[in-house]
Every structure is written in structure tokens, then in C-alpha cells.
Amino acid sequence: MPDQAAKELSRYRLEKAREMLSAAKRDIADDDYASANNRLYYCIFHAMRSLLALESEDYKKHSAVIARFSALYLKTDILPREYGALITNASLIRNRSDYEDFYICSVEDTERLLNGAERFLRDVENYLERQIQ
């Protein structure tokens, strides 16, 4: 069972995920899809880290966070395995939006990413609610 500090860190990270989702929605409303893609990735990323906090684990590299999260929560079917594709896609879109000159993500891809991030965050929130009450 996670200790109190792990629970508080988990809640803090979950709140950061919620803030990123809200920021992404504002960016979409302003037609700023590159920023929205970045915020949606970080919504997913902070949600993953909120669960890893319960394990008292954290990593400096995003790839390590994703790998450990996948091993603990997706491969064990705690959360749906389909989220693996969402995480991979969010990471790819974020990297391309942030670093590639002239990359333009379609509005449809951003909307799919938004829908996936909302589902992912909701499932993480539901899981955490059962774990840390």
C-alpha cells in the first residue's frame, strides 16, 4: 500500500495532467494545434507519472516512464492495452509538432488525440480513486 507521501505526489501529478488537458482545450479553441498537441502529450505523461508515484518510481527520460508504465499497467491489463498506441502516437505527434519545421498535424488527428487523452485521464482517475481514496 502506498504511503501518504506517495499518495500526495500522485494527486499532485494528476492535477498537473488535468491542467494540461484544460490548456489543450484552450489551445484548440484558439486554433493553436501545435501547442494543443504538446499539452495533450503532457496530460498523458503526467497521468502516467501519477500512477508511477504510487510505486515510488520516477525516471528522468520520457521513454523510461513510458516503458515502466506500460510494463506495470498495460501489459498487466490494469488499464486497456490500447493505450499503448495512444501513448506512442501522442509522443510522436508532440515531437513532430515541437521539433519539425513545417510539420502540421491535422485537426482530425488533434481531435483524436484529445478524445484519447480524455479517456486515458478518466481511466487513470478512476483507478487512482480506488487505490488512494
Residue 48's closest CA among 82, 22, 87?
87
Looking up residue 22, the CATH number of its domain turns out to be 1.20.120.330
Q: Strand, coil or helix: what is 127?
A: helix
Residue 1, pLDDT score:
64
Q: DSSP string spanning 30-41?
A: TT-HHHHHHHHH
Contacts of 57 (CB under 8 A, 6+ apart): 68
Residue 77, classified by CB atoms within 10 Å of its CB into exposed (0-12), middle (13-18) or buried (19+), is exposed
Residue 2, pLDDT score:
75
Locus of grid cell 486515458: 120
CB 57, CB 68: distance < 8 Å = yes
Per-residue pLDDT of the chain (133 residues), as tens digits, is 678 999 999 999 999 999 999 999 999 999 999 999 999 999 999 999 999 999 999 999 999 999 999 999 999 999 999 999 999 999 999 999 889 888 888 999 999 999 999 999 999 999 999 988 6
- What Rg, from alpha-carbon coordinates, does the chain have? 15
Which cell numbers in the block locate residue 43?
496530460
Specify the amino acid at residue 116.
G
Residue 3, pLDDT score:
87
Give the structural domain span for 105. 4-132
Number of domains in the chain: 1
**77 conformational bin, left if phi > 0, alpha if psi -120 to 50, beta if neither:** left
Which cell numbers in the block locate residue 69?
508504465
